[in-house]
Amino acid sequence: MPLYALICHDKPGSGDLRRDTRAAHLAYVAETGVVVQAGPLLDDDEAMIGSLIILDVADREAATQWGAQDPYHLAGLFETVTLHRWKKVIG
């Protein structure tokens, strides 16, 4: 299956929302079983400011649907979200 990268940037000042929604987000990741790699984007002070999520799904629509059901998205955490096909070359 193709890989897709979700690159999500949080709304400014949303650290509390991220923290409060994290358990539901991680449960969704575990439940769906399509996340290959993921982790927070950090600013220079190590504060979480977004997410990078690599999905192994059938197509762009499946990646879009996964993102739409992510508890972070449902909570309104993200200011911007981009979705790209991604090719693993190293690692």
pLDDT digits (tens, 9 = 90+) for 39-90: 999 999 999 999 999 999 999 999 999 999 999 999 999 999 999 999 999 9
**Interatomic CA distance for residues 71 and 27, integer angstroms:** 9
Residue 30: is its pLDDT beyond 90?
yes
**Interatomic CA distance for residues 24 and 22, integer angstroms:** 6
Q: Which two tokens stand for residue 80?
A: 């911007």
Q: Which two tokens stand for residue 75?
A: 């909570």
Domain borders along the chain are 3-86
The architecture in CATH of the region 3-86 reads 2-Layer Sandwich (3.30)
Residue 91: is its pLDDT beyond 90?
no
Residue 1: is its pLDDT beyond 90?
no
